[in-house]
Structure 1
């Protein structure tokens, strides 16, 4: 859906839009507190994407990788019909977690970090992302 969004720099810039959100999901605190925004809750991202395609909401919020995965696997009719706005509402790092109760937790974390660094260094990481549309 192509639309000239213009610059979106603050939450105030979202005031004119109806925003699809996931019910019971915690967004950044400032967004959650912004009662002046028109937020339309739905149970899942897929439902929000369907609302977006049917023009019942103007935009929806989701991690770009998660959204692309959901579109590719659950809502193919949305492929090529949505666009991602460059400036994110927020960026949250993902972390790999291992229980400290696992007697090998330090080794697992160390080997994971080494393998990830090697994948990034030799270009495999970017190839994998590209293969899956990221």
Structure 2
């Protein structure tokens, strides 16, 4: 989910020169480790990096990809030393540093509890009694993110949060349904017997890429990306590419 200012990825020019001085047709797509959206061990480094690099290549750019720690990505963004950010949930605070392109994927943010537990809630306020493992800097849903009255226990990764939940060290965690199901299938299948997605959706979030506001050809990159994204939606090639990662 991406991530807060954990959100999904950034396309950045990091190869020794500032973005404004770099070759405007060469882009480096960087993302944090957030399977299945991005990760070094994933096919073509995950949904986000594959989709973004495919679209930009089709638009005529040369593309490189890299997976970096989220803290480094955020530092680069705030220092205006970045070109393109992908795997992001929309965050108004981030618009100080980047401009968003149209979304290329959507995902549901859902709560997870121990198997047999049912957490009934109709609002974020209803979650006040519970301890909740959250990723440091992750974005989930505006009201939840701003609810400083909740008992939030910060962790580094969703997998860490899920294991804490399975061991009874917290009452809840949450993330993109796609991320949670990926962890069940690939990281620790035993977790699927110990913890379970809760009914209901906390938020449906679109996943974007965004271009750093200091990039000289920012508007052209966004226009090219949006144009090719529309073409790929129309000709079915976006669905075909996503199916490689989602099994759809």
Point out where structure 1 has 5 or more consecutive residues left out of the alignment. none
Higher strand share: 2
Matching residue of 2:133: 20
Point out where structure 2 has 5 or more consecutive residues left out of the alignment. 1-113
Work out the CA distance in 2 between the residues paired with 1:88 and 1:24: 21
Cα RMSD (Å) of the superposition? 3.6
User: In 2, are the aligned partners of 1:22 and 1:42 still within 8 Å (CA)?
Assistant: yes
Listed as ranges, the matches of 1:11-50 within 5 Å are 11-23=124-136, 25=138, 28=141, 30-31=143-144, 32-35=146-149, 37-50=150-163
Superimposed CA distance per residue, residues 13-47 of structure 1 (whole angstroms, 9 cap, x where no aligned partner): 32443311224556656434352x43333233221
- 2:172 is aligned with 1:59: yes
Work out the CA distance in 1 between the residues paired with 2:226 and 2:125: 39
Q: How many residues align?
A: 131
- What secondary structure is seen at the aligned counterpart in 1 of 2:170? coil
Higher helix share: 1
Relative contact order: is structure 1 or structure 2 higher (C-alpha 8 Å, sep ≥ 6)?
Answer: 2
Listed as ranges, the matches of 1:1-134 within 5 Å are 2-3=115-116, 5=118, 7-23=120-136, 25=138, 28=141, 30-31=143-144, 32-35=146-149, 37-68=150-181, 71=183, 76-78=187-189, 81=192, 82-85=195-198, 87-99=200-212, 102-133=215-246
